[in-house]
Homo-oligomer: A and B are copies of this chain.
Amino acid sequence: MKIAILGYGTVGRGVAQIIEERVPEVEVARILELPDRLTDPRMTPNYQDIVDDPAIELVVECMGGIEPAHTFILQALNAGKHVVTSNKAVVAAHFAEFAEAASKAGVSLLIEASVGGGIPWIASIEKVRRIEDVQSFSGIMNGTTNYIVYSMLKDGADFAEVLSKAQELGFAERDPTADIDGIDVRNKTIISASVAFDVACTQDLPVSGIRNLTKYDLSLFGSRGLTVKLIGRGVQADGRYAVSVEPVAVSTSTLEANVPTNFNLVTLDAPSIGELKFYGQGAGSLPTGNAIVQDILDCVSGRRPTYDFSRGLTYDPAMLHGPYVFRTEATIPGATFYEPGAVIVDDLTATQARALLDEALKSDPTTFMAAVSANS
């Protein structure tokens, strides 16, 4: 199979290298690159050269960002080419549009690398769904924030200190907003929900990050046998679903609490298979390149996922609820004492909790909020 790679950064080069060394049945025939970087005869700065080439059966998009990735993916699908992408932002924003174009053209959109890096997460959800519905999923889907919490606990350091160390080590971006405010996990949660529940999850879901997490917060939860992880999750039942992204206080004896450094851990639950958990490197050029090549190999060997979001699930925020802790100087309605400086509200939906957090941030911009896990 002849393929083209769009975007020749570390992931794109990793994909080309793995294919050259280990996948003789696939040939990287074209590479889309900037006009001033054409160092290889396969390279072109003109996407039309790739779209118009009938010999190219599959396009790997690893440019990132929304445009031109969105347009390029649509053009490839419309031209009858399979698309493999690691770009969570564009898939989260345009999944339904891509799925419809792929279906019309009779080709596949393969997105394993967009969630959980090297973890076989998307393919595992699809495999479970051959037999039964997925009832819920949840997980640590962002390595940067896991590294930050892990290091704060290990070194007794504060957020800013650990973040700057993570940036030095390359575990965090220079602009860490997408990671620490939960935007990255939001995109991965939307994609996971779409695959797990067959729903075009374009909902304005409640999203909170860990920007305001302090050493003190970790010690107050620690005194109760809990630690804090940034968790994306989704649940469905009876034609309804809900999703959220927020810090969750989990028991220190859970697998989640013990995920080290920048690893990810994602969980699904289904009636007959029960709970399945998958752990691995959630980012990095080699794991992500590996996931892309697995999608290419699946496509070569005939796995052709299709997504149909016509099921019409209703979004019901009341499905995700529980106790929430606020460490704040603001007054939280309905709250009672939890630990010095922190209060608890016994039962809020994720949406209500996010609204209370917004209110509290107005009077105390350092406010930190976490859901308390039902298993704690």
Contacts and interface: CB of A to CB of B under 8 A. Distances in A.
Interface in A1-57: 18, 22-23
Nearest to A294: B127
Of A255, A259, A280, A302, the most chain B CB neighbours within 10 A belong to A255
Contacts of A258: 253-255, 257-258
A68 interface: no
Contacts of A221: none
Contacts of A255: 255, 258-259, 265, 279
A153 to B, nearest CB: 10
A23 B277 contact: no
A318 interface: no
A132 interface: yes
21 contacts: A18-B272, A22-B132, A118-B276, A120-B276, A130-B294, A131-B290, A131-B293, A131-B297, A254-B258, A255-B255, A255-B279, A257-B258, A263-B275, A265-B277, A272-B290, A273-B286, A273-B287, A274-B281, A275-B281, A276-B278, A276-B279
Given A272-B287, A275-B279, 9 more contacts: A18-B131, A120-B127, A120-B276, A131-B290, A131-B294, A265-B277, A272-B286, A275-B280, A279-B279
